[in-house]
Structure 1
Amino acid sequence: MSTNVAAQRSTQPISGKDSKPLSGVRIIDLTRVVSGPFATMHLGDLGAEIIKIEEPVNGDDSRAFGPPFVGGESAYFLSVNRNKRSCAIDLKSDAGRQILLQLIDTADVVVQNFRPGTMDRLGLDNETLRKRNPKLICCAISGFGTEGPDAQRPGYDLIVQGEAGVMDITGDPKGQPTKVGTSIADMIAGLFAVQGILSALYERSQTGIARTVEISMLDALSSLLTFNAGIYFTTGASPTRRGNEHPTICPYETFQVADGWINLGVANDKFWRLFCEVTGAKDLFEDERFTTAPERVSHRLELTPLVAAILLDHTREYWVEKLGKAGIPCGLIRTVAEVCEAPQLTQRGMILSMEHPAAGDVKNISNPIRLDDEPLRQAAPPPMLGQHTHEILSSLLGFSPAQVAELSQRGVIRELSERTEQQTIAN
């Protein structure tokens, strides 16, 4: 396919109720682990064709992350790689790089999250790729960006959470700095990559210009400091860990109740009045120390234990129903299991079920975007390593079965034959 045809494909109007916004966009996905795969998964949810390029022997690093494994497949890998096809190519070989370049010729976007300089060493730098395909949008995700004193440092989520200041404001004020319970640095970088790619696709459709998108995990996570950074810029004082307290609202935190924990968000004077009415705490409402929101923050040490003593008298369900009925923001502290089974998610179509050739019924939490009040459906299961190599090389590049077999024998590619797939399922 010529470059012009590849570029035109993404700008042609798509119609029909079953089509998705990015139908017709082809993305070559060179990413692995979390940040890049999370980004390309969401682009795939929106209809883009994602061709995931993997190293032939072991594939994406996260295929080995576990336990748990299901049918030999890592639950970790399965969680961030739906709606993709796997093409296993050895990019360290000349033949493998030539195959990749031919795929690049047909693409709209290439995404990679190698350490800066790796693509250059492979001879796959942006300039080389754009000479072949001038309409190619190139997206790079890295830990610390392509310039500055930390550019060559490896970008691991835990490290970036610390470097971005998030851990210093998370956790018990008397305890150690604490990471967020999910890979937030990886995932927020992935989401910003999606935003950058969508912006570049739109600009290209208007001007014909193809941009380079660069996302630093450190930049992305640091941007979430918002009011915490605002406090520092305003006062010169660096915010510190406050546990679950909010620095400028009280009571707005986690409280223990008779059978567990809830979150309570009394975010303004109206909610404070309602809270005191519902709980019968007339004395608190009349106490001059707690009359206004700023006064409640100033007297947090006196107020918090009084609120805590009230809430200990009843269960989670009691308080969520009673306070919620009055319009006071509150909620359960759910386990992951409770979230995955929650009617609010299941009834909105947020739990996907996909039939995987080896792992069987694979469930994911879906993309949260809804179009015309409908969730994004028709998800394809995460691919097995090399599952689509033969299909992609033959259908997109015109390779004959003999050529594919010869490349496979040389270790340039890995293909998952029908027989191999059947054996995997049997095992």
Structure 2
Amino acid sequence: MFATFRAFQSRTGGLRPAALTTAAAEGSPSGASERRPRGVGHKRRVLAGPFATMILGDLGAEVIKVEKPGQFRALLPSNKGNYMIKPTCCLGVGDDTRAWGPPFVGSESVYFLSINRNKKSLAVDLKNPRGAEVVRELAGVCDVLVENYLPGKLQEMGLGFEQLGGVNPQLIYCSISGYGQTGPQAQSPGYDSIASAVSGMMHITGPEDGEPVRPGVAMTDLATGLYAHGAIMAALLQRHKTGRGGHIDCNLLSSQVSCLSHIAANYLNAGKEARRWGTAHESIVPYQGFKTKDGHIVVAAGNDKQFVRVCQVLELIELTQDPNYKSNKLRVKNRKKLLHTLSQRFQQEKTADWLRRFEGLGVPVGPINSIREVFSEPQTCICLERFLAVVHPTMFLRFRPLRYRLLCCAVDWLLILLDCMTPLLVYRTILALLLICKSLLFFFILLYCGMRVLYVLKRPGPGDGGHGAESWNSMKKKAFKVIMITLVFNSSTQLLQLSLLGPVILYASITLILQITLVSLCISIVSSFITPLLYLHRAGKLPCINF
């Protein structure tokens, strides 16, 4: 990937020539260009590099993501030395994470969207000499290049640090790999799970007496992305002083080993092998999760004063007088007995009750939340207020937050409130019910239109059946037009609103079928009035009613 502060990383599939021209003209030492080609060689990481360049994009870089060619637009050099957009017809879908799901938002993978904001995408076939030339020209105008090919692959294509450094001496070239550029495993592909296993992270993660467990989030990838981002920022500062670029070697294994922190220090300095502790801390007690009456709570008593306060809240003040628990060292030594006593007490109350008791006492405590509960936390909601809604460049209104859409009726404004206040599943269920109600409303509108057309017929003159028949034929056509226009308009708006929410084909189908049924019923009801009313009307026994 390429990044430029005006960063340059390619990921999605189309770049306007103006954007590149601006980058070339205004590119500064703060620019960062990320290049993450995936079409050649092994694709090692699908998170570390994109995460690093996403942060650069958050800081203001213009990032262009390079992907393998697919059925989207590619940027190719024109004969005028500039760039032009040209459709490609090669097989492939770009970044692997585009297909990682469900869940999907429309046709986009949520996983892909989560790590690729602030980026433009570019499809380049590096097997084609023209594609390699595009990369060279981009490297010449960008500040930073981030790649995650197997070591040596890009050099074989003439796109290594030495070759591109000759094109742009100020280029900062960041290589992210599984095991680094040298060593016996340098040519081995590496993903987060593999690096997490090899680095010992899985060995220390999981239940105390259970099997090794993969962390719930790709922490190795995320840590590597953070290290790469920090190294790029440092390299930009260094370039500001020296005027020269450099080569950054960042890999998953080294990043994760460095994150072992005191676990590694315990072994290197004291020869102590680590083991799994579940939620507990091997050197501090109590410092772990406890089961409550309705969930779990984590208590972190990092010193003797906090331990005393924990005992006071639990109404176990006698523990503070026990010589076996006078210091943290003694508590660690007598861990099993102490934790058994604390666990029994915690199970007697609900999580909310314990949190209320600990409030204001200076003891770090917190519930173990589900993801749904995370986004219901008051503190999290304060953070969410700072979120910036970003319009997707290719999905148009489909991906825009619902509260920012221009809606045409009161029902749609109600959907705005539901969008903000209710979970997605509940929201879509209520949405379906509201759309059904809206269809019923249109049913009565159609019924009204049909009756209005019927009654608005002019009374024929005495004995003049032709005039009435002519009026009736004319109004039948008008009635048909009104009904069809209303049907088409209502169906299209309903389907459009549903499509804005993503893949809800079931709701759309049900709504459409229901609507067609209601319209058919409406026409049947109106038709049932036609014959007797027309007979009475032509016989002069039905007064004319004008609306």
TM-score range, shorter chain: 0.7 to 0.9
**297-306 vs 91-100, greater mean Cα deviation:** 91-100
Query: Is the 1:7–1:108 Cα contact (8 Å) retained in structure 2?
Result: no
Matching of residue 45 in structure 1 with residue 58 in structure 2: yes
1:87 CA drift (Å): 1.4
- Choose the corresponding residue for 2:312, options 269, 274, 277: 277
Matching of residue 360 in structure 1 with residue 378 in structure 2: no
1-structure distance, mates of 2:32, 2:323:
63
- Choose the corresponding residue for 1:264, options 295, 299, 302: 299
1:15 is matched with none
2:368 is matched with 333
- Choose the corresponding residue for 1:97, options 108, 123, 132: 132
1:7 CA drift (Å): 9.8
1:50 CA drift (Å): 0.2
1-structure distance, mates of 2:198, 2:302:
30
1:9 is matched with 27
Aligned-pair Cα RMSD in Å: 2.4
**123-132 vs 344-353, greater mean Cα deviation:** 344-353
Secondary structure at 1:347's aligned position in 2?
helix
1:312 CA drift (Å): 1.1
1:118 CA drift (Å): 1.5
2-structure distance, mates of 1:246, 1:180:
16
1:114 CA drift (Å): 1.1
1:338 CA drift (Å): 2.0
Secondary structure at 2:260's aligned position in 1?
helix
For residues 71-90 of structure 1, what are the structure 2 equivalents within 5 Å? 71-90=106-125
1-structure distance, mates of 2:350, 2:28:
54
Matching of residue 238 in structure 1 with residue 273 in structure 2: yes
1:211 CA drift (Å): 1.4
2:47 is matched with 34
For residues 353-392 of structure 1, what are the structure 2 equivalents within 5 Å? 353-356=389-392, 357-358=394-395, 360-361=399-400
1:98 CA drift (Å): 1.1
1-structure distance, mates of 2:247, 2:299:
44
Query: Is the 1:345–1:351 Cα contact (8 Å) retained in structure 2?
Result: no
1-structure distance, mates of 2:358, 2:50:
40
Query: Is the 1:171–1:241 Cα contact (8 Å) retained in structure 2?
Result: yes
1:147 is matched with 182
Matching of residue 209 in structure 1 with residue 244 in structure 2: yes
Secondary structure at 2:299's aligned position in 1?
strand
* Corresponding letter in the other structure for 1:28: E
Matching of residue 296 in structure 1 with residue 309 in structure 2: no
1-structure distance, mates of 2:303, 2:25:
52
Query: Is the 2:308–2:317 Cα contact (8 Å) retained in structure 1?
Result: no
Distance change (3 Å), C-alpha of 1:224 and 1:55: same
2-structure distance, mates of 1:121, 1:223:
31
Matching of residue 189 in structure 1 with residue 228 in structure 2: no
Q: Which has the higher strand share?
A: 1
Query: Is the 1:53–1:87 Cα contact (8 Å) retained in structure 2?
Result: yes
**332-341 vs 208-217, greater mean Cα deviation:** 332-341
Query: Is the 2:37–2:68 Cα contact (8 Å) retained in structure 1?
Result: no
- Choose the corresponding residue for 1:248, options 283, 302, 317: 283
* Corresponding letter in the other structure for 1:48: A
2-structure distance, mates of 1:283, 1:350:
46
Query: Is the 2:32–2:56 Cα contact (8 Å) retained in structure 1?
Result: no
2-structure distance, mates of 1:321, 1:180:
30
Query: Is the 1:130–1:136 Cα contact (8 Å) retained in structure 2?
Result: yes
2:477 is matched with none
1:14 is matched with none
Query: Is the 2:290–2:298 Cα contact (8 Å) retained in structure 1?
Result: yes
Distance change (3 Å), C-alpha of 1:8 and 1:193: same
Distance change (3 Å), C-alpha of 1:72 and 1:47: same
1-structure distance, mates of 2:378, 2:400:
20
Query: Is the 1:164–1:222 Cα contact (8 Å) retained in structure 2?
Result: yes
* Corresponding letter in the other structure for 1:203: Q
Secondary structure at 2:65's aligned position in 1?
strand
1:10 CA drift (Å): 1.8
Secondary structure at 2:249's aligned position in 1?
strand
Identical columns (%): 38
Distance change (3 Å), C-alpha of 1:360 and 1:270: same
Secondary structure at 1:201's aligned position in 2?
helix
2-structure distance, mates of 1:156, 1:222:
15
How big is each residue's C-alpha offset from its partner over 1:338-367, in whole Å with a ceiling of 9 and x where there is no partner? 22343323323454432224251479xxxx
TM-score (norm 2): 0.62
1:108 is matched with 143
Secondary structure at 2:122's aligned position in 1?
strand
Secondary structure at 2:69's aligned position in 1?
coil
Query: Is the 2:171–2:244 Cα contact (8 Å) retained in structure 1?
Result: no
1:303 CA drift (Å): 0.2
**152-161 vs 322-331, greater mean Cα deviation:** 322-331
Distance change (3 Å), C-alpha of 1:362 and 1:86: farther
1:250 CA drift (Å): 0.3
Secondary structure at 1:331's aligned position in 2?
strand
2-structure distance, mates of 1:222, 1:26:
27
Distance change (3 Å), C-alpha of 1:254 and 1:119: same
- Choose the corresponding residue for 1:62, options 97, 103, 121: 97
Query: Is the 1:28–1:103 Cα contact (8 Å) retained in structure 2?
Result: no
Query: Is the 1:7–1:135 Cα contact (8 Å) retained in structure 2?
Result: no
1:8 CA drift (Å): 7.8
Question: Could you list the runs of 5+ residues in structure 2 that have no partner in the other structure?
Answer: 1-17, 39-45, 71-92, 403-498, 504-547
2:465 is matched with none
Distance change (3 Å), C-alpha of 1:362 and 1:225: farther
TM-score (norm 1): 0.79
2:195 is matched with 160
Query: Is the 1:78–1:362 Cα contact (8 Å) retained in structure 2?
Result: no
2:348 is matched with 313
1:134 is matched with 169
Distance change (3 Å), C-alpha of 1:243 and 1:164: same
